[in-house]
Structure 1
Amino acid sequence: MKIVSAREFDLRREVEYGSPEQNETVRSIVKAVKEQGDAALLAFTERFDGMKLDAASLRVTQEELKAAYEAVEPSFVQAIAAAADNIRRFHVRQKRNSWMDLQPDGSLLGQIIRPLKRVGVYVPGGKAAYPSSVLMNVIPAQVAGVPEIVMVTPPATGGKAGIDPYILVAAAEAGVNEIYRVGGAQAIASLAYGTDTIAPVDKICGPGNIYVALAKREVYGAVDIDSIAGPSEIAVLADDSADPAYVAADLLSQAEHDEMASAILVTPSEGFAQACQAEIARQLAELPRRDIAGAAIERYGAIILVDSVEEGIRAINRLAPEHFELIVENPMNYLGLVENAGAIFLGPYSSEPVGDYYAGPNHIIPTNGTARFSSPVDVDDFIKKSSLIYYSKEALLESGATIMELARREGLEGHARAIEIRLNKEGKAGNQDGGKQRSGNGTEIRGEPENE
């Protein structure tokens, strides 16, 4: 892991939009599923996943869910239940209520909060299975009140045995009972447009590979999506008070996700930088996923030297990392300076995996610098809001002239007349535009005065 100064390191990272070939492949898959439904879905499942299914076997049965419980350790069931409890407790505090505000003039303004009706959750298979992601997607939707939550996952996340039993147990513990064995871009298309077997959803959430990400982008507009998730990222700002072994382990915890993951240490201490560099090399050699983590460290890892903690935080704000650990003396003293980070971990014992699995905040967090303007998944992602407007006659008579003035300055005479007709009928100042009449396009019409 190279050591560089802040001036030498380019904090920008190219956003992954996929190759032209990948984009074209995704477009063709989405189009086929949209037009052919189950037939295309089953054909792509056989082609990409090597499993020949029929429509009746797409949905996971209750018997399979029961078998999954028998295949996992009781300790896992206890752990996933405890994590679910923490995640639910955290997200309950985010819940919003509808509100109304009655004005003295009789007008009523407000906002109505409603949950989305049906949400689709994608759970990836690939390099690893992530039961924790099931909880992080499903529980906020449940807290929001979403009545229908459907999960899709590749048919062989557990190898030849089929779907990984840990994923199924996590889904069952979270309360999901509609699960389909389908993955990739074809799964995203089925959720967006529906097939004879899978009803369409209002929103799709959950991480996946580049084909899943591109498919989510392709169907956006027909449905909502959570985000286009990029590779995992961690940035650690640490001083001499930190333990190099802790910091090295936390950096590697994200590097092991995949070869595109980013792991960056920012420190004002050259001695600490060198100690961490040696510790990373030592721990990496013993890591089961060392090939993946090693590739990530080589390509997207760095140790950045800065002059002070404050300069380090400025670098972090430019980077806007997904995960940010602040391991310095008195970290609360610096918290107010942190502007851009998806999740902030304070102190030596708030290791990033605490947030990944157990603490309660959501681990689906903005990547690729998008923490500058976006937020982790939360309850708000699963609601919709309707504005409520009721104007009394008195309120309209009071404000009508002002509304017409604004409409006519935009050249929208029809808007102005919709107000004017009410004012005239109620006997309020027949002409509200200073004696001028207007044509339909808002231009003035000057006629000859009568009796002149």
Structure 2
Amino acid sequence: MSDFKITRLDYADANFKQQLAALLAWDETDDLEIHQRVLDIIAHVKKKGDSAVIEYTNRFDQRHIIQADELVLSQQQLEQAWHSLKPEQAHALETAANRIKAYAEHQKIESWQFTEGDGTILGQKITPLDRVGLYVPGGKAAYPSSVLMNAIPAKVAGVSELIMVVPCPKGEMNSWVLAAAYLAGVDKVFTIGGAQAVAALAYGTESIPAVAKIVGPGNIYVATAKKLVFGQVGIDMIAGPSEILIICDGKTDPAWIAMDLFSQAEHDENAQAILISDDADYLNQVEQSIYKLLPEMERAEVIKTSLSNRGAFIKVNSLDEAAEVANTIAPEHLELSIANPADLSEKIRHAGAIFMGRHTAEALGDYCAGPNHVLPTSGTARFSSPLGVYDFQKRTSLINCSESGAHELGKTASVLARGESLTAHARSAEFRIKSS
């Protein structure tokens, strides 16, 4: 497996910034054919409702559905899936769920208000979304962790109805996924997928209720559909390929770091795994560990392609330089495999999640550490955050003017409104100004 090379960059090179930019470039150009196909699917579902959903489900998932009620899974079926798990599987799911819930409880935003001197009350009211749609990949794919990470924060936020859609090609269902839905408190499950499922959630059909927001991962058709229905509903994010950036001081077992790089590279050929160190010899040690361990991996070819095309080793002169590079990359996952991770974390401004210390593998965050694994990718950590309870809550401003407050504020509003030539605004405020 040593028939490939990982890109090497050096912070000291004059053209380092250009090389780094080229490495990070990710332009998944919109496929116009897919875009048009998804637009057609959305339009058909909006017009025909259940019949369109059934038509697409039968065509794409090779099923033989006649009536919409055949697409619904009962709570009894979810509970049966839960009880079908082996004890160690159920224990693992329950442990993860409890930790995710405990962390999410700390994220809840509460309503607040304050009273000004004249009696005017200002505040903010927090309310949960009424109904949320959760997309979960289906078939042979098993992502119960994705169900927990998306559903539990919604329930902690107080969302009253959580609708899950999961495709079941040829009628094949994954018991792990259904068991996770039961454990997380999902209210309804429809066995549909693709752009048609997103459209159904966004606009509603005779059987599938319209939601306020759609969350969860999916393929290019699902991602495109989420883009196109945004505005009709909210969405979590449009996720790019998985990423990991590791900063190491050369003191961690190189095999550990090699496997941490693999843990993201195995997602798909476009995933990105980068290692930064101030120890050039250590980079060589990790490279040798990669060559040694790669043949053991079930997804060795995917990892090899990912590391060859988008992976990199970056040599820096100091950990401060490493932090600077990390802020430029703004990675989804950042491991600080160093002696004093807390100190360096103070210098990190942009990262989806930071895994601190030599013993904190990114994989723990994917499953059971507690913080959400739905994270910003492709540099979007510069302006966005992990999925959390706050994504399922709305903020409403509260204003309650006292008579005195309306008098004083009215004067200010009148001047500003007339400055904008909005006379009705001005007079509306002026009506409440007390005559002297």
Q: TM-score range with shorter-chain normalisation? A: over 0.9
Q: Deviations over 1:5-24 (max 9, x none)?
A: 24143353224243111111
Q: Deviations over 1:71-121 (max 9, x none)?
A: 431211111011100000001011111112122211111111100000000
Q: 1:214 aligns with which of 200, 221, 224?
A: 224
Deviates more, 1:355-364 or 1:280-289: 280-289
How far has the Cα of 1:161 moved from its partner? Answer: 5.9
Q: Which runs of 5+ in 1 are unaligned?
A: 429-452
* 1:268-347 equivalent positions in 2, closer than 5 A: 268-347=278-357
Say if 2:236 is the partner of 1:234.
no
Match of 1:427 in 2: 435
Closer, same or farther in 2 for the Cα pair 1:422/1:333, shift >3 Å? closer
Equivalent residue in structure 2 for 1:194, among 200, 204, 210: 204
Tell me if 1:136 matches 2:149. yes
* C-alpha distance in structure 1 between counterparts of 2:320 and 2:141, whole Å: 37
TM-score where L is the length of structure 1: 0.91
Equivalent residue for 1:4? 9
* Distance in 2 of aligned mates of 1:332 and 1:62: 45
Given the alignment of the two structures, is residue 170 of structure 1 paired with residue 180 of structure 2, yes or no? yes
1:87 aligned residue: 100
2:42 pairs with 1:30:
yes
| TM-score normalised per structure 2 | 0.94
Secondary structure, aligned partner of 2:20: coil
Amino acid paired to 2:117: P
Partner of 1:145: 158
After the TM superposition, which of the residue ranges 346-355 and 160-169 deviates more from structure 2? Answer: 160-169
State the match for 1:445 in structure 2: none
- Once the two structures are superposed, the pairs formed by residues 347-362 of structure 1 within 5 Å of their partners are 347-362=357-372
- Could you tell me how far 1:369 is from its partner in structure 2? 0.4
Q: Is the 8 A contact 2:135 2:218 kept in 1?
A: yes
Q: Distance in 2 between matches of 1:326 and 1:269?
A: 15
Work out whether residues 3 and 273 of structure 1, in 8 Å CA contact, stay in contact via their aligned partners in 2. Answer: no
User: Partner of 1:108 in structure 2?
Assistant: 121
Deviation of 1:127 after TM superposition, in Å, equals 7.4
The 2-side partners of 1:411 and 1:63 are apart by: 62
Corresponding residue SS for 2:122: strand
Structure 1 distance, partners of 2:27, 2:208, is: 32
2:54 maps to a residue whose letter is L
SS in 2 for 1:303: strand
- 1:370 maps to 2:370: no
Percent identity over paired residues? 46
Aligned residues of 1:15 and 1:368 also touching (Cα < 8 A): no
| 1:187 Cα deviation after fit | 0.8
Is the 2:113–2:121 contact (alpha carbons within 8 Å) kept by the matching residues of 1? yes
Report the AA paired with residue 377 of structure 1. L
Unaligned runs of 5+ in 2: 1-5
Q: Deviations over 1:202-241 (max 9, x none)?
A: 0000111111111000000000001111111111011211
Tell me the secondary structure at the aligned position of residue 182 of structure 1: coil
Shift of 1:63: 4.1
Match of 1:68 among 81, 84, 93: 81
Q: Highest Rg: 1 or 2?
A: 1
Mark the CA change 1:349 to 1:243 in structure 2 (over 3 Å): closer, same or farther.
same
Pairwise CA RMSD:
1.5
Q: Helix, strand or coil: the match of 2:30?
A: coil
Distance in 1 between the 2:119 and 2:113 partners?
12
